[in-house]
Amino acid sequence: MDLTGRVAIITGAGSGLGRAIAYRLAENGAKIVVNDVVAEQGNLTVDNIKSKKGEAVFSQTDISKWDGAKDLIKKAKDTFGKIDILVNNAGITRDMLVKDMQEEDWDKVLAINLKGAFNCCKFATPHMVEQKYGKIVNLSSRAHLGNPGQANYSASKAGIIGLTRSLSLEFGRYNINVNAVAPGMINTEGVKALKKYEMVVERALKITPLKRIGEPEDVANLVHFLVSDYSSYITGEIIHITGGRY
């Protein structure tokens, strides 16, 4: 699925799924704007893409901030002249039971996971409308179904579904496809660092028909398809990538 000449912004691409997606799209010819709040990680993604003769630039902005998202989109436009693909991947967890959850724990997760995606769509879509072409993929999660200890995270990922559906309805007429992917447990650095990693994996495997944890490349495969023209008649969908687990 060739992406030669396409310009792709990937938020939170300094790690995990975002980095795997950035590598995949770059390998297939896309020019990548790597976004992250952590400069060292983002620059490493850029360096690795360049070392394989790909094109990439780093933008250190906080997408939960209106101006941060605006700066990111401007940098993409200024550097590569257009924006074809936006992958809203940046996300965090702050897991705890509601009895322990404070206002800041709720606000921070919603601000990055949900408002951040809105902010980037807000500023990227005018460019896509103008060129009558765009592909937006938002990272939801299987957690949109609800998980104990994840009221903030689950709500943000359920919100991503509403955002995706609304955007697909508003922007379909401009040839902009907006879809979401909802991964189950994927082996990223963040997941491997979980305090109860072994226990969580064991529990997940019991109820996962494919009997393995997902790899970042599994998600990159799906996102690659959704940003390619092989998916040009698909919009407003939420595609689960969970090894069959619900």
Catalytic residues: 153
CA neighbor of 126 nearest in space, from 89, 165, 76, 59: 76
CB of 8 to ligand NAD, least distance (A): 15
Burial 14-40 (b: 16+ CB within 10 A, else e): bbbbbbbbbbbbbebebbbbbbbbeee
Closer residue to ligand NAD in complex, CB, 30/186: 186
**With contact defined as beta carbons under 8 Å apart, do 96 and 20 qualify?**
no
CB of 64 to ligand NAD, least distance (A): 4
Closer residue to ligand NAD in complex, CB, 150/228: 150
Closer residue to ligand NAD in complex, CB, 14/133: 14
Q: Which residues are bridge partners to 79 per DSSP?
A: none
**With contact defined as beta carbons under 8 Å apart, do 65 and 119 qualify?**
yes
Closer residue to ligand NAD in complex, CB, 30/213: 213
In this structure, which amino acid lies at residue 135?
A: K
Query: Helix (H, G, I), strand (E, B), or coil: what is residue 53?
Result: coil
CB of 175 to ligand NAD, least distance (A): 26
10 Å Cβ neighbour count for 108? 15
Contacting residues toward ligand NAD, per CB under 6 A:
11-12, 14-18, 35-38, 41, 62-64, 89-92, 112, 116, 139, 141, 183, 185-186, 188-191
CB of 128 to ligand NAD, least distance (A): 20
Rg of the chain over all Cα atoms, to the nearest angstrom: 17
**With contact defined as beta carbons under 8 Å apart, do 216 and 16 qualify?**
yes
Tokens linked to 173:
């007429």
Closer residue to ligand NAD in complex, CB, 133/180: 180
CB of 140 to ligand NAD, least distance (A): 7
CB of 183 to ligand NAD, least distance (A): 4
Tokens linked to 203:
């529990």
Closer residue to ligand NAD in complex, CB, 135/240: 240
Total length of the chain: 246
Contacts of 160 (CB under 8 A, 6+ apart): 88, 113, 114, 117, 138, 139, 140, 144, 180
